[in-house]
Amino acid sequence: MASVLVTGCAGFIGSHLCERLLADGHQVVGLDNFDPFYARSLKEANLGGFFQHPNFRFHALDLRDGTAALTQTLGDTAIDVVVHLAAKAGVGPSVREPAAYLDNNVLGTTHLLEWIRLQGIGKLFFASSSSVYGNTPQRPFREDQALLQACISPYAASKLAGEQLTYTYHHLYGLSVLNARFFTVYGPRQRPDLAIHKFVRLLRAGQPIPVFGDGTTARDYTFVLDTVEGIARGVRYLLTQPSGYETINLGNSHPVPLLELIAAVGEAVGITPQLIFQPMQAGDVDVTYADSRKAHALLGYAPQTPLADGLRQFVTWLNEGPVDSSHHVHPVS
């Protein structure tokens, strides 16, 4: 088994991935900066299921602190492959704070790539986003589409810049890279700012759900464990393939209109939604729709979770009460 470095390990997707990699027998080194975008205690709760695992080591670190900080923190830790999930996420907040997104997602990624080069690590899985496709009319979205003028939010631009950086390091230094564009991941541990989480809270509070636009915008909702399956297969691919550079979509290939999603959330909660229509938000795209045939061909990726099942699992997790813990996670010495 391999030693895998996971950046953003305390987040929604990162914590699920660490659990999966540990279950697969890997050694996992986790990094997280506990960005205050949402409560640190929720991220600490995400770590709770595996923080004491003998094959897991954790370090609190902000990638913006630079290559020297990475070297000082990780020392000579042997790493076979890096999974880079750490980023400031969210389209709307990036419109309000573009500089913070470029600082975290572009500069932070640059520091990580330079550290990877200096350490002689040859393999990288980079988490990109479906947002890089913008409102391109070609659907479903294919990885070979031209995207130079597609991005319509700073978040999207930061992710596409990350892909360009990974290519630069592949071209110059032979880094083997698998870029994966995630499509609207949802499920247990979902960030509180994301739509499904918000909708459930509003329903339970007896408040109307805001519908931005006319309700026909659609997203390719992908259950978190299906995304994690794709990442785990991507790690295996990187470990077994010769050096290369590939970009794949990790989506469900089934866009769900907003009004249909709201109805499905209401059914999962057992409350009929009341709606309030509002203008479209700046930076939002009309549709996301993954062509996942390349991921299937390279990795055998095939999502298994229907939306109704995934929503039920999310509501069950929420009912059990994600622990807003008061203890603090401390890095290893």
pLDDT tops 50 at residue 328:
no
Tell me if residue 173 is catalytic: no
In a domain, 211, yes or no: no
Does 318 reside within a domain?
A: no
For the domain that residue 27 is a member of, what is the CATH number? Answer: 3.40.50.720
Residue 139: inside a domain: yes
> How many whole angstroms separate alpha carbon 171 and alpha carbon 270?
53
Q: Would 319 be classed as within a structural domain?
A: no
Question: Can you give the C-alpha Rg of the chain in angstroms?
Answer: 19
pLDDT in tens, 297-310: 999 999 999 999 99
Alpha-carbon dihedral 150, 154, 16, 200, rounded to 10 degrees: -100
In a domain, 144, yes or no: yes
DSSP conformational letter for 218? E
What are 49-96's pLDDT values in tens digits? 999 999 999 999 999 999 999 999 999 899 999 999 999 999 989 999
Domain that holds residue 60: 3-183+222-251+289-303
**How far, in Å, CA of 119 to CA of 71, rounded?**
9
pTM: 0.95
Asked if residue 135 belongs to a domain, the reply is yes
Tell me the average pLDDT across 2-7.
98
pLDDT value at 327 more than 90: no
The predicted model gives 310-331 an average pLDDT of: 72
Does residue 79 sit within a domain? yes
Nearest to 283 by CA among 96, 99, 95: 95
Catalytic entry in 38, 101, 133, 155:
155
Count Cβ atoms within 10 A of the Cβ of residue 281 and give its class: 0-12 exposed, 13-18 middle, 19 or more buried: middle
CA distances from 11 to 26, 42, 153 (A): 19, 9, 22
The answer to whether residue 281 is domain-embedded is no
**pLDDT digit string, tens, across residues 173-231:** 999 999 999 999 999 999 998 999 999 999 999 999 999 999 999 999 999 999 999 99
Burial 233-256 (b: 16+ CB within 10 A, else e): bbbbbbeeeeeebbbbbbbbbbbb
Question: Structurally, how many domains does the chain consist of?
Answer: 1
Summarize pLDDT for 245-288 with one digit per residue, the tens: 999 999 999 999 999 999 999 999 999 999 999 998 888 889 99
pLDDT at residue 322 in the model? 60
